[in-house]
Structure 1
């Protein structure tokens, strides 16, 4: 009887321990998505962060600058909010700290040539917003802080000098910021703007009035009130047009209507494509888009996107081979949507069940559904916990921006995943610890489980040897 019990119990113990030490499943539920021009971020309900899409500019922070066609997990935990920027992404942790990754040479000198997490020198933050080369945070006291490229006054501090660290902006009581267009919506429904006051037409010709003042000023370095707007819930600036969502669920717009991105039903594209005069179709007044009962908006380069109160998604403008769709159209097959986000030419939607759906241009993997030129209908994005960036470099101080890279000097070598779509960062001969150990001094859960698995293997081997001896 003792012999039978030993034979059964030890293998079961071994199997149990091996199962525990295997790779964990991905987060059960995604709770937020954020798309930028050509890449996308997602936030899991467990505080995990995922990314996929274009990496040519280093925006994913992964060495090699190769596109990431499926989601890869960023080595950061306890995150409560995310914002995708054109080159640098932001994550807000539950302790009020802000972390950045991507092409960090925009804000930190001498960064290592591998995946790096950088702690922004600011705390007590409740919201983050990333732009093309400038970034904003709202602190718990309601103040707004900004940093980044400032040649057109995007920082909003009244200067045109680039800022490596956050500076205070003279605006308070802010409920929402559109990082791309440097608009802020106050809690009283008024809109304030600063920065670049131009749209770029045909990649070279600048049209002024992008900030809603319709003046000849090409930039506004101080926040000013946009007089024509009131009772506003949110605002979104695209490449050539700006959308406004009011508290009554109506959508308004100004800017170029060449591709129908104002959503007002005008057949501008069909008319202007014959004349070839794309730069003459900028409206310097508000027009009402043909959609109502809207609860959220997002915009791409020539694309408008709306989430209605019935949890359906509507699009207009130009993307994925669709040109000049001037009247909003319902995206078929998508229901129960709770959040939307638009890249330059791709769309992302989050369902109530935590699943992520994406469609549009996919030249650089931005929809997360594997290699394809584009997808006209939404595809479900799959998350694999085994696809993860490991052993990042952590920079937690910028007291000396010029030598901040010296904080971490261990060599890190990128090694391609077996799946062929991502990278693990391994350390062949250094003492650099994983991110969680650097921050807490404690081993990771994965490390503990691996140790348990090894112990199980030892116990199994010892038990098997004992039984053979007894025989």
Structure 2
């Protein structure tokens, strides 16, 4: 496996209508996207990409660039490309931009990686328009960035050698109620003395882990393992890193300000607005409800989006999951199989990560437990991992060879029609 930044695979998004008709979009650490199996689609023009998405039960995809713009391609029968057109005559073989302009200004004016032992600087970013992302970071190195206009969020770490606690930011910024209390004043002074002239900076040290979209790969010199961390970088007054998710005939996107936008097919209310039954070919803001005078109340404070077949889901900054659209198989997790026109709160709390399969949902809680709801292939071969059939309420996933104990220490999960994969904190 290649270890340089140009060839390292950061993310793989799998789409298609069946195993024999599937395809993959591959995000590489240099920000380019590869296409495996989606015939007729040319993604060579994409660069500076931080996330890719592929359609569940469909043939279209999308990408988010480091400047926050969304680009999409493929089938457009229901306006799911989001460029204002619809119909198969308007299918796109190359990426087109959804909407216009950038949804965030994520330019980093200063950054470097410094070895804590030797003090040697390995890489410096001086270009005002260059984005710090996809950085190869050893366990004995600090990533130091200008934080005058950005903030950094916490996450789990996938590295076996570190604990699952907050990332350490030596900048006086509070992360999850804690400041850099793991390090002595002398260490902080040392960093200050080596960064004279940069009053507003943050130091990311791979001790506890960080959470978000922009990936960082770190290496454990003891075990020889490499591991992926994700840094969510967003404007200082923002809520989240821009994201996009693809359903079967619709898409939803998250802006840096925590608002959610959707486009494409709306036959089951999966776009979260008042126009059920109508396809929408341009992004429209997802509503939470309407007030007494029929004015829209919009969904906000969202940090992650997911989409499946005719339904959508989001995670808010308080760890609450919201779902809407088609409720078949209980995939909304609301205790029934009914549809929902607007986002509705699911009875699970302290969630840090969500993902959607075509007809089911998975959520990781802060304690590392994995929960699932929706369609299961069968009670005997449960794709939910719950030792039973489909369920309409969040149910904890079992693990181990015998399936008799609950799965724990989960840091990542991805779901398909009949198969689900989870990564634990030990890799």
With normalisation by structure 2, the TM-score equals 0.54
Given candidates 116, 130, 133, the residue that maps to 2:59 is: 133
Question: Contact 2:33–2:47 at 8 Å: present in 1 too?
Answer: yes
Given candidates 253, 262, 268, the residue that maps to 1:184 is: 253
Question: Contact 2:27–2:33 at 8 Å: present in 1 too?
Answer: yes
Unaligned runs of 5+ in 2: 17-21, 105-240, 289-298, 379-387, 400-406
Distance 1:140 1:299, change over 3 A: closer
How many angstroms does 1:193 deviate by?
0.8
Which residue number corresponds to residue 337 of structure 1?
Answer: 410
Question: Contact 1:83–1:89 at 8 Å: present in 2 too?
Answer: yes
Q: Whole-Å Cα distance in 2 between the matches of residues 240 and 158 of structure 1?
A: 20
- Aligned residue for 1:152, secondary structure, equals coil
Which residue number corresponds to residue 181 of structure 2?
Answer: none
Distance 1:327 1:141, change over 3 A: closer
Unaligned runs of 5+ in 1: 1-26, 28-44, 49-75, 109-118, 199-206, 269-280, 355-471
Q: Within 5 Å, which residues of 2 pair with 1:43-62?
A: 46=3
Is 1:162 aligned to 2:91, yes or no?
yes
Given candidates 312, 316, 326, the residue that maps to 2:392 is: 326
Q: Within 5 Å, which residues of 2 pair with 1:205-354?
A: 207=268, 209-228=269-288, 229-266=299-336, 281-321=338-378, 322-333=388-399, 334-354=407-427
How many angstroms does 1:312 deviate by?
0.8
- Aligned residue for 2:15, secondary structure, equals coil
Distance 1:283 1:47, change over 3 A: farther
Q: Within 5 Å, which residues of 2 pair with 1:5-20?
A: none
Q: Whole-Å Cα distance in 2 between the matches of residues 257 and 168 of structure 1?
A: 31
Question: Contact 1:259–1:323 at 8 Å: present in 2 too?
Answer: no
Q: Whole-Å Cα distance in 2 between the matches of residues 326 and 144 of structure 1?
A: 32
Is 1:153 aligned to 2:226, yes or no?
no
Question: Contact 2:273–2:342 at 8 Å: present in 1 too?
Answer: no
Distance 1:327 1:94, change over 3 A: closer
Distance 1:130 1:214, change over 3 A: same
List 4+ stretches of structure 1 deviating above 3 A. Answer: 45-48
User: Higher relative contact order at CA 8 Å, sep ≥6: structure 1 or structure 2?
Assistant: 1
How many angstroms does 1:217 deviate by?
4.5
**More helix per residue: 1 or 2?**
1
- Aligned residue for 1:245, secondary structure, equals strand
With normalisation by structure 1, the TM-score equals 0.49
Pairwise CA RMSD of aligned residues? 2.4
Structure with higher Rg: it is 1
